[in-house]
Amino acid sequence: MSVLLSEEERALRDTVRSFLDKKIAPLVSDHEQARTFPWDLLAELYQFGYVRGGVPESLGGDELPMMMQAILMEEAGRCWGSLRTTLNVQGMVARTLAAAGTQAQRDTFLDPVMAGQRFGWFGLTEPDAGSDAGSLRTRARREGDGYVVNGSKIYITNALGCDFGILFVRVIEDEVDRGVTALLVDPAESSFQVRDIPHMPLRSTTSCELTFDNTYVPAENVLGEIGGGLSLGMKAVNAGRLNMAMGAVGLAQACLEESIRFCKQREQFGKTIAAFQLVQQMVVEIASLTETSRLLGYHAARTLDAGEPGRYECSMAKLYCGESAGRAATLALQLHGGAGLMEESPVERYFRDAREATIPEGTSQIQILHLGKALLGHSALR
């Protein structure tokens, strides 16, 4: 795939991969076992364009082309799923703040995020509003100089590790539903409950339930326009889909590399298993899935860089890359046999993390419905 990248893009890929292999990869096993995350190291990664890449230079960001951001997310996915999803969420938070934040909000939230001094969660999903984001039930009722929030969010990544969040609610003013709106929620001024929900993949992240019971949020913490929250959130989600897709490509690449390494050293029946036809068939399938996934991801990124909306391309990449990563991880585990089931083997982690790739930022089935509507002109949802 190097022939599809410019010299600058190849240099970025090689530099980031070297840094991750040397600085982050040796820490993964211990953090996975302890279910912890090295938050203090994130700022070092921002020098390459993580998180700051989606923010305009005029606001202090790096304003990287989506192609470069895609390369960054692939390398993060190749290294560690928990790192990839953490960087993805922080990038979505930064992108949203840059798109709609006031100067005061950028000073308080965006600038510290880009400096690695603050971390934010992205609160969209609810118990009864996942794929159907427009049916949010969390309410923010205008009272005095602020809003009183009631409701709950669920499966919010790293809410326990972050010190503020972007919360999507329905604003009620004078008994009128003004629509979905984004609020900046800082626990220093707004009290709410956070509960971690133990989960299978990405063990160094938290997946949280947030409960708001008459939580006060100052009016100056409205992010963007009243009623403009759903549009704002979906713009971030579209980029998030590409990031998820490229993270899945990186995971598939890791499966391929580990499978090749293992098959060349594992011996059975007097020779390495790399010489067996069925083993070669599985390795070739992993390689083919990885390469085709990368092509779709690159195409989506180039489409966005060309100024196109890219919703179709990002949905297709998210669908194919996520499903392919799951297949690649299954094959990698099968190639390792019993060893692949052990936590000391990296493919055990790849297998768990790959299962997550088909769900956040829109399940595979939702992506199919988006693509079906684009192709056929009819919505299967409404």
What domains, with CATH codes, occur in the chain? 2-119 (1.10.540.10), 121-226 (2.40.110.10), 231-376 (1.20.140.10)
Are the C-beta atoms of 152 and 127 separated by less than 8 Å? Answer: yes
User: CA–CA separation, 67 vs 309, rounded Å?
Assistant: 14
Sign of the four-CA dihedral 374, 377, 381, 382: positive
Q: Of 258, 313, 356, 361, which residue is the catalytic one? A: 361
The values of phi and psi at residue 216, to 5°, are -85, 130
Helix (H, G, I), strand (E, B) or coil at 168: strand
Using CA atoms, how far apart are residues 282 and 233, in angstroms rounded to an integer? 39
pLDDT per residue as tens, the chain (382 positions): 678 999 999 999 999 999 999 999 999 999 999 999 999 999 999 999 999 999 999 999 999 999 999 999 999 999 999 999 999 999 999 999 999 999 999 999 999 999 999 999 999 999 987 777 678 999 999 999 999 999 999 999 999 999 999 999 999 998 999 999 999 999 999 999 999 999 999 999 999 999 999 999 999 999 999 999 989 988 888 888 999 999 999 999 999 999 999 999 999 999 999 999 999 999 999 999 999 999 999 999 999 999 999 999 999 999 999 999 999 999 999 999 999 999 999 999 999 999 999 998 889 999 999 999 999 999 998 7
Angle (CA) 256-155-53 rounded to 5° is 60
Question: Can 344 be counted among the known catalytic residues?
Answer: no
The two three-digit tokens of residue 336, written as one number: 């390792």
Q: What is the pLDDT of residues 261-310, one digit of tens each?
A: 999 999 999 999 999 999 999 999 999 999 999 999 999 999 999 999 99
3-state secondary structure of 124: coil
Which tokens is 294 given?
A: 């990368």
For strand 176-185 and strand 164-173, is the pairing parallel, antiparallel, or unpaired?
Answer: antiparallel
pTM: 0.95
Give the contacts of 149 (CB within 8 A, at least 6 positions apart).
Answer: 138, 139, 140, 167, 169, 183, 185, 190, 192, 212, 214, 215, 216, 217
